[in-house]
Structure formats: structure tokens, C-alpha cells
A and B are shown apart, each in its own frame.
Chain A
Amino acid sequence: MRRDIFQAIADPTRRAIITLIAFQAMTPNAIADNFNTTRQAVSKHLRILTECELVKQEQQGREIYYSLEVEKMKEIDQWVNQFRKSWETRFNQLDDVLSTLKKQ
């Protein structure tokens, strides 16, 4: 099964979870309180996020806290950057063509 950063952000609930835990580590119950879905559904999303290696779990006393692996998010930026670059190249070439056409 596909398990990477893009799988992690493919679902709106998972994107919301990412936003929630971006600032502080949270327990599964605290995370679930923010959603109208069942705790099981939230648990499933947390499991997928863990498998995508975007979140890590930490035991503190009797509670498990989920927090974000921020470094992993950079993969999205790198991927988007390729796309940005390819258009930048294309547009720079258009600059050249336009400047040639203007001289004609």
C-alpha cells in the first residue's frame, strides 16, 4: 500500500489533525474531541499518519502523545518546487522568445 507524505495529506481529516498537532503534542482523545467522527475513525487516521512517518508517538505516564515530524513535511515543498522550476524554465524561455519577436 502507498504510504508516504502525499497519502498523509490526501484526506481532509488528516490535514486537520496535522494542523492540530503542528503546535503541540496531543493525546488521541484530545485530538478526537475536535472532530464529529468516531474515535475509531480518528485512530485509523492516526495510524495512517504514523505509517506515513509524519507523526511520532511518545508515552508520557499513562498517556500517548502524538506529535508532528516537521522535517517530513519538507518533501511536499521539494516536490512542489520541481513543478515551480519547470514553469520558471518555460517562462524564462518565453522571455527570450518575446524579446526576439519584439526586435523583428
Chain B
Amino acid sequence: MNDFTVDKATKTVTFSREFDADLSLVWDAYTKPEILDQWWAPRPWTSRTKFMNFEVGGRRFYAMVSPDGQEFWSIQDYMAISPKTNFKLLNAFADKDENPELPGSEWDLTFSEQNGKTTVRVSIYNESLERLEKMLEMGFKEGTAMTQKNLDELLATLSQRK
């Protein structure tokens, strides 16, 4: 991942990544729920989209599902869409009845293609640090714990071989 920066003054996190695929495919991976759900959640979590209307004023309502089946819902409201170039959304945690938990964060995603490779630039504005921390906690804490456990097991196996 390139140029991962946290700008404290503007409370914005920005980063970019290049993918070995053309623009249309990457755009589809971000905007079609059946593809999005295949990569959105850090394993062993899964992403489950209940519905998604990818249009200005439309919404994606989805859950991050933990390995033990717990659902953490989020709402993404699409604010602006320039097909295959850019889209902006307002992301907020929610309950299972679609009630958002504000404040959320504002996401700005820009797509560009060069020589058959596509770069996605993401900028996320967070009103509060606490909100950012919670985002980490929900999507990642468990994942880190799992990785840690795997490492523990690996170390145990390795030390037995000695």
C-alpha cells in the first residue's frame, strides 16, 4: 500500500493501491455487492450485503460477520458517483434495523488506469478519533487476535522441533 498518511489537522487518512486489473473490473469489484462481499471483510470475518443500490442517494446496508456469527451492521450512503472515476459515500455504523450511529466518516474513492493496471486512491475523513478506533475494533481486532493465535501455535510447533 502506498502513501499511507494520517493527517491529524484534517482528520483524514489517505492511501492508495495499484491492482493488476483493468479499470472496469476494479470498479465492478467495488460497486457490485456479489463481488464486494468476496473481499471486503478481513478473514475470518465475512461481509454480508443485505441490499445495495449503487446510485446517488442510494445505500448499501451490510454486516461484518464475525467467525462466531455476530453481525455488525453498517450503512453506506452514496453521495456522488462519477462512473469508473470516483465515488463518495458516508459510512456509519448501524443497528440491525438500519438506524445509523452518527457521526460517521466520509469516504472519497478515486480510480485511474495506466497500462492495464488500476490505482485506487482512498481518502477517509473522520470527525472523531474515537470513531476511527471503533472502526478498527470492529473489523480488525478479532482478526489480529486470530493472527496472534496462529503465530503462537506456529511458535509452539517450531519450538517442539528443537
Instruction: Give the chain B neighbours of A63 by CB distance below 8 A.
Output: none
Given contacts A12-B9, A82-B144, A83-B132, contact A90 B25 (CB under 8 A): no
User: What are 25 A-B pairs with beta-carbon distances under 8 A?
Assistant: A10-B129, A15-B8, A80-B4, A83-B6, A83-B132, A83-B135, A83-B140, A84-B15, A85-B144, A86-B42, A86-B136, A86-B140, A86-B143, A90-B41, A91-B17, A91-B19, A93-B39, A94-B19, A94-B29, A97-B29, A98-B19, A98-B25, A98-B26, A99-B21, A101-B28
Given contacts A12-B9, A90-B42, A95-B19, contact A84 B4 (CB under 8 A): yes
Instruction: Give the chain A neighbours of B26 by CB distance below 8 A.
Output: 94, 98
Instruction: Tell me, yes or no, whether B125 is within 8 Å of chain A by CB.
Output: no
Instruction: Tell me, yes or no, whether B104 is within 8 Å of chain A by CB.
Output: no
Given contacts A83-B13, A96-B39, contact A101 B25 (CB under 8 A): yes
List which B96-145 residues lie within 8 A (CB) of chain A.
122, 129, 132-133, 135-136, 139-140, 143-144
The docked-state distance in angstroms from the alpha carbon of A6 to that of B39 is 31
Instruction: Tell me, yes or no, whether A35 is within 8 Å of chain B by CB.
Output: no
Q: Is the CB of B40 within 8 A of A90?
A: yes
Instruction: Tell me, yes or no, whether A40 is within 8 Å of chain B by CB.
Output: no
Instruction: Give the chain B neighbours of A12 by CB distance below 8 A.
Output: 9
Instruction: Give the chain A neighbours of B17 by CB distance below 8 A.
Output: 87, 91
Given contacts A83-B13, A88-B1, A101-B25, contact A94 B39 (CB under 8 A): yes
The docked-state distance in angstroms from the alpha carbon of A93 to that of B35 is 11
Q: Which residues of A contact B (CB under 8 A)?
A: 6, 9-10, 12, 15, 79-80, 82-91, 93-99, 101-102
Q: Is the CB of B1 within 8 A of A95?
A: no
Among A79, A87, A93, A101, contact of B43 (Cβ-Cβ < 8 Å):
A93
Among B25, B129, B140, contact of A82 (Cβ-Cβ < 8 Å):
B140
Q: Is the CB of B8 within 8 A of A82?
A: no
Size class of the contact patch on chain B: 20 to 34
The docked-state distance in angstroms from the alpha carbon of A2 to that of B29 is 41
Separation in Å of the B5 CB from the closest CB of chain A?
Answer: 9
Instruction: Tell me, yes or no, whether B38 is within 8 Å of chain A by CB.
Output: yes
Query: When A and B form their complex, which 5 residue pairs have the shortest distance between CB atoms, in order from nearest?
Result: A93-B39, A86-B140, A98-B21, A89-B42, A94-B39
B54-86: CB near A (< 8 Å → 1, else 0) gives: 000000000000000000000000000000000
The docked-state distance in angstroms from the alpha carbon of A80 to that of B135 is 12
